[in-house]
Amino acid sequence: MKKMLLFFSHKLTDSQKADAKRSWGVEEFLYLPSDLQSLFSNVPPELESLKEYAKPLTGFLKKNSKEGDMALIQGDFGLVNILVKEAEKNGVIPVYSTTKREAVEKEIEGKSVKISKFEHIRYRRYE
């Protein structure tokens, strides 16, 4: 059973799930446990290096994936770089979600407010 590990700070939309199933044959989605999700979503900007910081996340990737699985990786650039390299080293396909943004301006309480809507288009493999 092909799975997608989610190194991602949001919940997947129905469109993202459907695309992963249709385009990549994904049958299971694996979110990070809450402690690792907090680690992934709150990378301290003061750290000089993320090598040690990333170890619990790379450990999760190794433990919970097999060759041919996928990993959706989007977040802090440095951490993403580490996780993409680790995924590739383990035969896991690293991808990110591409989106189309639609901006709409609305008047709310006499003020002009810009609202952006993001629509998932496809997954793109890191190259």
For 7, list phi and psi in degrees, rounded to 5: -100, 85
**Overall number of domains in the chain:** 1
Q: What is the pLDDT of residue 93?
A: 98
CA distances from 19 to 25, 47, 119 (A): 9, 36, 12
Question: Looking at this protein, which amino acid is placed at residue 124?
Answer: R
User: Phi/psi class of residue 68: alpha, beta or left (left: φ > 0; alpha: ψ in -120 to 50)?
Assistant: left
pLDDT band per the 50, 70, 90 thresholds, residue 112? confident
Q: What is the pLDDT of residues 44-83, one digit of tens each?
A: 999 999 999 999 999 999 999 999 999 999 999 999 999 9
Q: Which domain holds residue 48?
A: 3-125
DSSP 70-100: EEEE-S-HHHHHHHHHHHHHTT-EEEEEEEE
Specify the DSSP class assigned to residue 118.
Answer: E
Q: The whole model's pTM is what?
A: 0.88
